[in-house]
Amino acid sequence: MKHFSVLKKDKVDTIAIGSFDGIHLGHKQLINRLGENGALFVIDKDQANLTPGIKRSEYSKHPCMFYHFLKIKDLSGEEFIALLKKEFVNLKKIIVGYDFMFGNKRSCQASDLKNLFDGEVQIVEEYFHKGISVHSSVIRKLLQEGRVDEANSFLGREFAIEGEVISGQGLGKEELYPTLNLKVREYILPKDGVYATRTKIDKKIYNSVSFIGNRISTDGEFSIETHILDESILAPKHLEVFFVKRLRDNQKFDSLSELKKQINQDINEARESLRVCKPYALEFL
């Protein structure tokens, strides 16, 4: 993934304002209007779970300046603009979405920016994909329903989670298939089940099949596990999993042999799904 460059505040001449969780197709309509010296003014409510924290800079390829909602929510419209001009002394342009509201008790609308700010204001119209208005809430709902392929189409990339590799149950390597177990913080998780995925370790992408849910056929504990297809690797400290297609629900099996037989079927189905579903946003992998 191409990383954003460092940009000091006094060099910023354009900002796009929003929460930007997901950096989805709707957000891209704002981001695409940022120039070389543009940055995201991120209003953070500690609720981002599609692209938490610095991931928004990675996916947008622009610097993110984070401002907590609680510190700005009581500002009047005039005070909010004064804050922007103080923070970005060379600010010439503000970009917002059609539904942007600001000021104490959301007293100001996007159109009020044109009266309060003495530079250029661009208000981006509502963006639709497949006839549906693109919002982070829509994507979260699709993920919670396991409809990752549809969520991906609204994101414009494959939804991904990342985390620390931890010790697992130990059954995979000995009696089933070896898996890498992942400890994930902050991210929303797709619906429990088995998925065709791509796993990024260091800078290399591997085809994989991944499981999310309670291991109801063994110890009952919740886990996130990924099995690398057709390659043997040493366990890394950190990895990223990209979700391509949901294969099935979490199921209970009466024996490890039955479970292994189903996993083998999952592997074959994942391999075929990944062969057909080529990455459509390679710059994010």
Q: Give the pairing type, strands 193-201 and 238-248.
A: antiparallel
Span 12-133: which CATH code?
3.40.50.620
Task: Determine which helix (DSSP H) or strand (DSSP E) holds 188, and give its type and residue range.
Answer: none
- 44, 48, 56, 236: CA torsion to nearest 10: 130
Closest CA to 9 of 63, 73, 75, 74: 63
Q: What is the C-alpha separation between 109 and 113, in angstroms, rounded? A: 7
Task: Determine which helix (DSSP H) or strand (DSSP E) holds 82, and give its type and residue range.
Answer: helix 77-87
DSSP 3-state assignment of 177?
coil
Where do the domains of the chain lie? 12-133, 158-284
Q: Is the CATH code 1.20.1430.10 the one for domain 158-284?
A: no
pLDDT at 29: 97
pLDDT at 170: 63
pLDDT at 232: 86
DSSP 3-state assignment of 147?
coil
Q: What is the CA radius of gyration of the chain?
A: 22
* Tens-level pLDDT at each residue, the chain (285 residues): 445 567 899 999 999 999 999 999 999 999 999 999 999 999 998 888 999 988 999 999 999 999 999 999 999 999 999 999 999 999 999 999 999 999 999 999 999 999 999 999 999 999 999 999 999 999 999 999 999 999 999 999 999 999 999 987 666 555 678 999 999 999 999 999 999 999 999 989 999 999 999 999 888 899 999 999 998 888 899 999 999 999 999 999 989 999 999 999 999 999 999 988 766 555 555
pLDDT at 210: 98
The reply to whether 12-133 and 158-284 are identical in fold is no
**Tokens of residue 16, six digits:** 């796009």
Secondary structure letter of residue 48 according to DSSP = -
